[in-house]
Structure 1
Amino acid sequence: MIFDHRIYTARPNRMGHFLKLYEEMGLPMQRHYLGEPFGFFQTHIGEQSRIVHLWKYDSLADREARRDTMEADPEWQAYRRKVIETDHLLDMRNQILKPVTFFNPNK
């Protein structure tokens, strides 16, 4: 099992606009292709304007297959264009994480 850990940084005063766009357009497609996120957060204390989400996959191959299918969907491509056009985000980063042996995320 692996986790895709994503951190997006919103431009000042654009967090709400990005989250609304994501909730209306992006999240429904991701739920369809990727399943429910393992976690979805925004910063409260610390570096501001951060959106952090975690997606759980069986393996790198599982992640690649699901994301490739989503990327091929014209509606997902339209959503991505809309995010770029509205210029809500400054930065996007992701890491692939593996749980340590003593943590079972299925519990």
Structure 2
Amino acid sequence: MIYELRVYRCVPGRLPNLLKRFETTTLKLWEKHGIRPSGFFTTLIGESNQELTYLLAWESLAEREKKWTAFQTDPDWISARAKSEEDGQIVGNIVSQLLTPTAFSTLK
């Protein structure tokens, strides 16, 4: 199993918009494309409280490439993203890391 750690740093004040987009749109589209989230987190204490951090689970890099590309190019996603940003950009930057569990990890 491969895990993808993604951190979205929002434009100041726009985190509620990002959370709403995930709850109402993104998760449904991920289900459609077979993308498996493993957890979502907001920052309680840290550099910024305007972040959404989450983990995705992938069987392989090939699965990630196929499913993520299908999601990113889905006309429903393109439309929903544009609609959610009609009043301005939501995400300032995204950091993504692909991780493999250690032998002692509780996630395998």
Same fold (TM over 0.5): yes
32-41 vs 76-85, greater mean Cα deviation: 76-85
- Matching residue within 98, 101, 104 for 1:102: 104
Structure-1 residue corresponding to 2:37: 37
Query: Residues 31-83 of structure 1: CA distance to partner in whole angstroms, max 9, x if unpaired?
Result: 22134410111101112211001000011011111112222321012133345
Taking the aligned partners of 1:53 and 1:34, their CA distance within structure 2 comes to 16
- Other structure's SS at 1:37 match: strand
- In proportion to residue count, which structure has more helix? 1
Gaps of 5+ in 2: none
- Structure 1 residue identity aligned to 2:102: V
Q: How many residue pairs end up in the alignment?
A: 106
Supply the RMSD in Å over aligned alpha carbons. 1.8
Q: Does 1:56 align with 2:57?
A: yes
TM-score by length of 2: 0.85
> Where has structure 1 moved over 4 Å in runs of 4 or more?
none
Aligned counterpart, 1:26: 26
Q: Which runs of 5+ in 1 are unaligned?
A: none
Distance in structure 2 (CA, Å) of the matches to 1:92 and 1:83: 17
Structure 1 distance, partners of 2:34, 2:53, is: 16
Range moving further from structure 2, 79-88 or 31-40: 79-88
Q: Distance in 1 between matches of 2:82 and 2:95?
A: 18
User: Is the 8 Å Cα contact of residues 35 and 67 (structure 2) preserved in structure 1?
Assistant: no
Task: Return 2-11 or 61-70, whichever deviates more.
Answer: 61-70
TM-score w.r.t. the length of structure 1 is 0.85
